[in-house]
Homo-oligomer: A and B are copies of this chain.
Amino acid sequence: MEQLTIVKIGGNVIDNSENLHRFLQDFTALSGKKILVHGGGKIATELGTSLGVEAKMVEGRRITDIETLRVVTMVYAGLINKNMVAQLQSKACNAIGLTGADGNIITAVKRPVKTIDYGFVGDLDEASVSSETLTSLLEAGLVPVLCAITHDGDGQLLNTNADTIASAVAVAMSAVYDTRLVYCFEKKGVLRDVEDESSLVPEIKAGDFEGLKEQGVVSGGMIPKLHNAFEAIKNGVKMVYIGKADELPQVNTNDFGTRLIS
């Protein structure tokens, strides 16, 4: 099978135009077929504030009411996505910017109301991603750039976690391509000592995950990240990398951040 690389970036890359420029250059230089998935960033919060749409939190969780959904649709699918596509095009990367509604790529289910009503937030399941349209686009030489907006199939857009989108797309595409998933975040990867970037753990096998949790090498927010990564691997993704965006070129030599394998 041909190789496909899916790269996910977050606000720490998007919010700094110099970082973003360099990242898009490195992304363009990645060999083979590829997909970019991006989250939001400060711009949505800033626009919301300008419009008097306050960030609504319940028990520490962000709520997407209808006004917030309008703001994230404008910022993620409009401002961020289209400027990123225009920049990639200027670097001769034939990008095409999409939400999950476009080509019916990702259908989500509005999160059911239990104790908290999260509003217009979409959850994904194993049937959410349709690989068909993405495969057509990749085979036409296009580079899909996905933002964190999906739809419910009944005309409603939904705000959806970008990490979850990246993972679900990787699992679905692994039926068609030899798929690897690259998560960019603010650290070099999994560190034995979070304060020491030289303490990088270069590789973790699925079977070692529990032991590393017990030793405390993997802790806090890293636990769900790695849990999701190993789920993706269990479901067909060849390899997951977790590392720093500015080291992206090292993906080509398989030497990027922490490699997670089966």
Residues in A lying within 8 Å of B, measured CB to CB: 47, 50-51, 70, 73-79, 81-83, 85-87, 89-90, 94-99, 101-104, 133, 136-137, 140, 142, 149, 151, 153-157
Contact = CB atoms under 8 A, between A and B. Distances in A.
A103, A142, A154, most chain B CB atoms within 10 A: A103
Nearest to A157: B86
Contacts of A70: 79
B99 A94 contact: no
A83 to B, nearest CB: 6
A83 B73 contact: yes
A168 to B, nearest CB: 18
The A contact surface, by secondary structure, is: helix
Contacts of A77: 77-78, 81-82
Contacts of A101: 82, 85-86, 89, 95, 97
A96 to B, nearest CB: 5
A90 B140 contact: no
8 contacts: A82-B149, A85-B99, A86-B151, A94-B103, A95-B102, A96-B102, A136-B136, A136-B142
A73 B155 CA distance: 21
Contacts of A76: 78
Given A76-B78, A78-B76, A79-B70, A155 B90 contact: yes
A156 B104 CA distance: 28
Nearest to A78: B78
Nearest to A140: B136
